[in-house]
C-alpha cells in the first residue's frame, strides 16, 4: 500500500463526512474507499506471505528452529492493528451497503445504479424483482462488474460484495443465537434436509 493511496483514502473519508452529498456521490465514494481498503489488506497479506516463504526455506535445519518460529509468528501478527482497523472499516461500509442507509436504490434508480456497479446491460433484464435493491444486486445476485470474470471462491466477488460479505460474517459471529435464522426450519435453505447425528469427537468431511 503506497503512501499516495493512503492519502487518497484519508481525503475520501474526509469528503464523505460532509453532510450534503447525494446518494450517487456517496456510493461512488464508498466504492473508492472499499477498493483502497481491500488493496491495503491485500498488501499486508502479501507481506505476511513473504515471512511464511522465508520460514519455509528454513525447514529441515535444526539450528534455525528459533528463527523459523519467529518468522512464522511474524507472518501471523505483522501489522495486526492495521488489519483490524481496515476490516472494521470494511465491515462498517458493508453494513451501510446492505442496509442501504442512503436509500441509494430509490434515489439513484435501477439503471443508473447498474451503471455505477458496472452491471452488464445484457444481465439486467434477468434480475428478479426481489433482487433489485442495493444489497440484492451487490450481495445476493453478485452482479457488480458482471462483464468481468468472477471468482467462485468462498467470499470472493466484486469489491462491494467483499465488504458486504465481511459484514455478514461479522454479524453471524457476533449476533445472539436467537437472532440467527434457523437454516433447517420451514422455507429455509435446508428445509427438509436429513440431519445425521454425529458422535462426539467425529468430524464430518
Average pLDDT rounded to a whole number, residues 77-98: 92
Domain count, the chain: 1
CB 165 within 8 A of CB 94: yes
On whether residue 48 sits in a domain, the answer given is yes
On whether residue 100 sits in a domain, the answer given is yes
**CA of 15: how far to CAs of 25, 38, 94, 179, in Å?**
10, 19, 19, 35
Percent of residues, the chain, with pLDDT higher than 90: 47
pLDDT in tens, 149-181: 776 777 778 999 999 999 999 988 888 877 777
On whether residue 136 sits in a domain, the answer given is yes
Per residue, the 3-state secondary structure of 151-186, as one string, reads CCCCCCCCHHHHHHHHHHHHHHHHCCHHHCCCCCCC
On whether residue 16 sits in a domain, the answer given is yes
pLDDT in tens, 3-30: 445 555 555 555 556 667 788 888 998 9
Domain hosting residue 58, numbered range: 3-178
On whether residue 76 sits in a domain, the answer given is yes
- Angle at CA 185, nearest 5°, toward 179 and 190? 110
Overall pTM > 0.85: no
On whether residue 186 sits in a domain, the answer given is no
On whether residue 130 sits in a domain, the answer given is yes
On whether residue 148 sits in a domain, the answer given is yes
Average pLDDT rounded to a whole number, residues 69-95: 93
Average pLDDT rounded to a whole number, residues 67-96: 93
Q: What is the pLDDT of residue 132?
A: 85
Amino acid at each position: 500500500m503506497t503512501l499516495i493511496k493512503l492519502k487518497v483514502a484519508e481525503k475520501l473519508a474526509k469528503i464523505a463526512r460532509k453532510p450534503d452529498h447525494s446518494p450517487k456521490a456517496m456510493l461512488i465514494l464508498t466504492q473508492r474507499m472499499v477498493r483502497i481498503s481491500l488493496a491495503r489488506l491485500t498488501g499486508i497479506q502479501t507481506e505476511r506471505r513473504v515471512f511464511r516463504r522465508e520460514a519455509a526455506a528454513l525447514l529441515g535445519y535444526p539450528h534455525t528452529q528459533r528463527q523459523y518460529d519467529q518468522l512464522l509468528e511474524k507472518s501471523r501478527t505483522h501489522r495486526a492493528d492495521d488489519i483490524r482497523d481496515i476490516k472494521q472499516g470494511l465491515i462498517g461500509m458493508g453494513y451501510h451497503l446492505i442496509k442501504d442507509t442512503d436509500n441509494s436504490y430509490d434515489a439513484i434508480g435501477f439503471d443508473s445504479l447498474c451503471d455505477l456497479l458496472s452491471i452488464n446491460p445484457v444481465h439486467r433484464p434477468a434480475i428478479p424483482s426481489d433482487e433489485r435493491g442495493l444489497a440484492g444486486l451487490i450481495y445476493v445476485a453478485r452482479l457488480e462488474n458482471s462483464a468481468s470474470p468472477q471468482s467462485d471462491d468462498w467470499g470472493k466477488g466484486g469489491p462491494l460484495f467483499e465488504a458486504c460479505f465481511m459484514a455478514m460474517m461479522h454479524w453471524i459471529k457476533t449476533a445472539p443465537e436467537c437472532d440467527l435464522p434457523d437454516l433447517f426450519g420451514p422455507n429455509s435453505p435446508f428445509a427438509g434436509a436429513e440431519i445425521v447425528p454425529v458422535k462426539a469427537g467425529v468430524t464430518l468431511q
